[in-house]
Amino acid sequence: MLEAYLPYFTSRYGADVEFLIVINGSTDKTEAVVADFSARYSCDPKGRPARPLALPNSMGTVLEGGPPASAAAGAFQGVVRTIVEPEPIGKGGALMVGFRQAKGDLIGFVDADGSTPPEAFHDLVETIGQAGGIIASRWAKGSQVSPRQSFDRRLASRIFNLMTRTLFGLRLTDTQCGAKLMRREAIQAILPHLGITRWAFDVDLLFQLRRAGYAIKEIPTTWHDVEGSKIQVGKASTEMMMALARLRLIYSPFSWVVKLYGVIGPWIHPVGEARDHLITHSLVLFIGAQFGNICNMLFQIIMARMLGNAEYGILFATLSALMMLSMPLSALSGAVTHFTALFTAKEKQDKIIAMMVALFRDLLLPAVLIVLMVVLWRHDLMRAFKLDSPGPVYLAAGTIVLMLLGSVASGVLSGMQAFEWVALIGNGWTLLRLVLGIVLALLGLGAIGGLTANMVGMLISVVLSLAVCLSLLGRHWKALERPAGLYSYMGGYMMTVTAFGVLASADVLLVKYYFTPEEAGAFSKATMWARMAFFLPGPVCSAMFPKVTSVGESSRANHRTLMKAMILTALLGGGIGLVCLAFPEFLLGILSKELHPGQANILRCMALALAPLTLLTVLMNYELAQRRFRIMIPVYLCAGGYVLGVMRWHETLFQVVGVLGAMSVAALLGSLLYVRGRRK
């Protein structure tokens, strides 16, 4: 970068330009490289004093001071200056150091990898006019970007830009382009207020300029995307979005949240220990999942209002059956996540793609068998679930096949901790299901329409997940290879989550079997909100699983991650659980105009019955991530006790809920005792 910039700018401005390099926590030979350039551009100390002009780069580089432009090459003074900051202070910290040292009329910075050629940066100098600042944009009309960036980078850039527009009102197309130039008085005015020293620094800088009343120009630029970037798109996207959220909180009445986090931060991230990013990734998944939760809630509300109790009972019972089946199917996803996390830690991405292809080949036979079994047993299934047509059965079978394929792709994304993609794809399919479900319901397709929308949304999510996996991993592998022990691990996982699925989701099916369609529909509406409280903390488990993955060991860091996950789960699940207890009539009124007798109390009881299972989910995922399956003993005993109990006591709906609550508490206590005993 210096090889290109120094001759270009010194030939035009002579000693009136200076590069101030802030060397920040460097572990390579950056200081020696800069010293070499400084010696090559040393000069006669009698040179004429410079007219101030300063330009810093993203490492922290400022341009100013020296002899006249007509001086011979090599006779410049002060063209290159260095400041060494031994401790890492981030990009923003380095730039603020450079800003304070700069003496020029114009101060700017540019990425140190040479992505912006000197001619493109000089366009900023010539175009700034009287504006307080000017930035280069890779998205403005007329920009030249080569080679074209990958799909994931472009998508992440547009999502980030949408967030900056929404949260800060910055009507700019590219806040993150690393070429910016400002007037000295503008920098001096905002420098005392700059505080974000990492991913959100550029947004903070531009936001402060606008708040101070300075105009910001934006012009198209020339950009050469440099290969070998150290930035990981998924990780960087997560960090950038969290930085935006933190920045928005700072400039809001909720700034106390940031201060509180600063107080408890030493406990969350002890000094000297590697960060697990559990809270960050949990919040990313949680915030990202809220859009999906809203779509799910709207789907249930709209279907409940558009369909009669009998039709809605069919839809909800079928979706509940799929949910219960998703528990054992999640064993496949969990196994893939487990081995992907191990391969990622060892940087063996080729083994991940080989594992995916081998699993898809293996799943071909089970997929065919599922379809054949449904076709042959359709009449038995129709009688068992009191259906008038085989449509719901066929649609459920198609969805199960897609769930098999999707489990592999989603497991890979989770194992690589690409949580932003997991959230984005999940949101996409719930939105599609909502829109398509409304259209099909308006056409009078009833429960069939809702189930069709569910299957089409699942299909789109599978296709997108596979596309992202291929983008992150590539398409090359040496040979089809399943990791040793994958299916045995999946078997133990499946046995555990199958029993857990009975506890978590079998209530609707049991009520459907023992009670009338009208009663089953009313029960489904009453329990929907309680089930949302149960699934709300799910992102915490998803974020925790790949972080504690091992082949049987538990470290101190693992235990700390588990404790944080338990606390987060209790806070999230407990919050909405309290809402269910306090305002059941209001929540049920959203779903239906008329309340059935006892619905409010059923909602309260279900919220209490499912509450222990939220914490049990965390314990179960922790044990499974570390290849320990004995936790399934108390879970299996309680799942069997639940089914047998309902077979004995099912005269009223409250008996079904009561048995569930008793077994949930027993399962949690049994698992806690097991984990405590094992730790001793």
**Integer distance in angstroms from the first to the last C-alpha of the chain?**
58
Q: What is the pLDDT of residues 148-159, one digit of tens each?
A: 777 767 777 888
pLDDT at 108: 93
Q: In b/e form, how buried is each residue of 502-522, taking b as 16+ CB within 10 angstroms?
A: bbbbbbbbbbbebbebebbbb
pLDDT at 116: 92
Smallest CA-to-CA distance from 529 within 570, 583, 458, 598 is with 583
3-state helix, strand, coil in the chain (%, to 5): 70, 5, 25
Which range among 107-116, 213-222, 473-482, 518-527 shows the weakest confidence by mean pLDDT?
Answer: 473-482
pLDDT at 502: 87
CA distance 385 to 406: 26
Residue 57: pLDDT band with limits 50, 70, 90: very low
Q: Which residues pair with 146 in a beta bridge?
A: 224
CA distance 173 to 150: 18
Residue 73: pLDDT band with limits 50, 70, 90: very low
561: which residues sit within 8 A by CB, 6+ positions away? 276, 278, 544, 547, 548
Strands of the sheet with 106-110, listed across from one edge: 106-110, 179-183, 133-137, 216-220
Contact status, residue 106 vs residue 57, Cβ threshold 8 Å: no
Residue 228 scores a pLDDT above 70: no
Q: What is the pLDDT of residues 370-408, one digit of tens each?
A: 888 888 887 877 777 677 788 888 888 888 888 888 889
DSSP β-ladder status, 179-183 and 133-137:
antiparallel
Count other Cβ atoms within 10 Å, centred on residue 179: 27
Amino acid at 124: L
pLDDT at 417: 84
Residue 196 scores a pLDDT above 50: yes
Residue 245: pLDDT band with limits 50, 70, 90: confident
Which range among 164-178, 242-256, 418-432 shows the weakest confidence by mean pLDDT?
Answer: 242-256
Residue 8 scores a pLDDT above 80: yes
Mean pLDDT, the chain, rounded, equals 81
Residue 188: pLDDT band with limits 50, 70, 90: very high
CA distances from 207 to 171, 194, 218, 251 (A): 11, 10, 14, 10
Residue 128 scores a pLDDT above 90: yes
Residue 65: pLDDT band with limits 50, 70, 90: very low
Residue 535: pLDDT band with limits 50, 70, 90: confident
Alpha helices in 486-516 (DSSP H): 486-514
Residue 483 scores a pLDDT above 80: yes
Helix axes 419-442, 233-250, angle to 10 degrees: 80
Residue 647: pLDDT band with limits 50, 70, 90: very high
Residue 276: pLDDT band with limits 50, 70, 90: low
Residue 261 scores a pLDDT above 60: yes
Residue 169 scores a pLDDT above 90: no
Residue 49: pLDDT band with limits 50, 70, 90: very low
pLDDT at 44: 44
Residue 641: pLDDT band with limits 50, 70, 90: very high
Which range among 66-75, 213-222, 356-365 shows the weakest confidence by mean pLDDT?
Answer: 66-75
Q: Which residues pair with 23 in a beta bridge?
A: 84
Which range among 46-55, 343-352, 514-523 shows the weakest confidence by mean pLDDT?
Answer: 46-55
Calculate mean pLDDT across residues 580-606: 82
